[in-house]
Amino acid sequence: MTQLQTKYFGTVSCEQSELFEFPLGLPAFEQEKTFAPLDLPGTGPLLFLQSTTRADLCFLCFPILVVDPHYQLSISPEDLNVLDLDSGRQPRIGNEVLVLALLSIQQDHPATANLMAPVVVNPRNRRAVQAIRCDATYSHQHAIPGVAEVQPC
Amino acid sequence: MLVLRRRAGEALLIGDNIEIEFLELSGQAVKIGIKAPRHVSILRKELQITKAQNQAAAQTVELAQVTKSLPNIRC
């Protein structure tokens, strides 16, 4: 167990073995190599990716299939090598890799998810990479319907 | 935007000291070679977009705003 200073929840404890290791960091945050995935009871699929070295750095994310149930991966061979996965084929979301979409939440704007550059984690070795797609299939600002837009059943 | 048609093996010059050569065309992809001075930064556009998007995503949000922006989430 290690104690972690977090952006949103004060000090929390987490197991070293639960941390995600980003050998390359994330673009714009290349020095941040280790993040703790934190979830809260009641926040459903929402996950907080908290840097272990910078308390003020925490990303909010959703499992990508929550945002788009039909999402198709396109991870480069270089990124698959970082994850220590077979670079000859795309892994399966769920049983082979955890795939997260980083969220942008701003006042008076709909929340958006970055489907162009998802965070991909190999659960077997906890290695992670932000896998930037080379194609234009998905948006880096995919709108998530807000409460107001959700139609009642 | 200036639009030009070039074949594999042909090149373009930008200013006095940047040369872009179109090395190989295959299916949807084009392989290019760039000669430019060291101080000229060359970035894949999607990397630049990702950096900006990550900076936006790292902004502090009130957890109350999360509840407001996302359906079915209560913080």
> What letters, b where the CB count within 10 A reaches 16 and e where it falls short, cover A57-79?
bbbbbbbbebbeeebebebeeeb
Long-range residue pairs from A21-24, CB within 8 A, at least 24 positions apart, any chain: A21/A126, A21/A127, A21/A128, A22/A127, A22/A128, A22/A129, A22/A130, A23/A82, A23/A127, A23/A129, A24/A82, A24/A129, A24/A130
Selected for mutation to probe chain B from A7, A31, A105 (highest B CB count within 10 Å) is: A105
Region label for A42, one of left (φ > 0), alpha (ψ between -120 and 50) or beta (otherwise) = left
Q: What is the mean pLDDT of residues A48-68?
A: 95
Cβ of A132 within 8 Å of Cβ of B72? The answer is no
Is 50 exceeded by the pLDDT of residue B12?
yes
Q: What is the CATH number of domain A2-143?
A: 2.30.290.10
Q: Hey, is the C-beta of B43 within 8 angstroms of any chain A C-beta?
A: no
What percent of chain B lies above the pLDDT cut of 70?
A: 93
User: What 3-state DSSP class applies to A57?
Assistant: coil
Q: What is the mean pLDDT of residues A87-102?
A: 96
- Per-residue pLDDT tens over the stretch A132-145: 998 889 999 999 87
Residue A90 is classified by DSSP as P
Between A4-13, A86-95, B36-45, B60-69, the lowest mean confidence (pLDDT) is in: B60-69
Q: Where are the beta strands (DSSP E) in chain A?
A: 2-5, 11-14, 20-21, 34-38, 47-51, 58-63, 98-104, 112-113, 119-122, 127-130, 142-143
Q: Rounded distance, CA B18 to CA A2, Å? A: 51
Q: Hey, is the C-beta of A140 within 8 angstroms of any chain B C-beta?
A: yes
Is 60 exceeded by the pLDDT of residue A147?
no
CA proximity to A103, closest of A95, A94, A112: A112
What percent of chain A lies above the pLDDT cut of 90?
A: 77
Minimum distance, in Å, between the CA of residue B31 and any CA atom of chain A:
13
Q: What is the mean pLDDT of residues A61-85?
A: 95
Q: Rounded distance, CA A57 to CA B57, Å? A: 10
Residue ranges per structural domain of chain A: 2-143
Q: How many residues does chain B have?
A: 75
Minimum distance, in Å, between the CA of residue A92 and any CA atom of chain B:
23
- Contact between residue A37 and residue A138 where contact means Cβ atoms under 8 Å apart: no
Cβ of B57 within 8 Å of Cβ of A104? The answer is yes
The kind and range of the H/E element at A52 are none
Alpha helices in chain A (DSSP H): 64-67, 77-82
- Contact between residue A80 and residue A54 where contact means Cβ atoms under 8 Å apart: no
Kindly report whether the global pTM for this prediction surpasses the value 0.90.
Answer: no
Judging contacts by C-beta atoms under 8 Å, the chain A residues touching residue B65 are 105, 107
The pLDDT value recorded for residue A42 is 75
Q: Hey, is the C-beta of B57 within 8 angstroms of any chain A C-beta?
A: yes
Cβ of B50 within 8 Å of Cβ of A117? The answer is yes
Cβ of A147 within 8 Å of Cβ of B71? The answer is yes
- Per-residue pLDDT tens over the stretch A6-55: 999 999 998 999 999 999 999 999 999 999 999 887 788 899 999 999 99
- Per-residue pLDDT tens over the stretch B49-72: 999 999 999 998 888 778 777 766
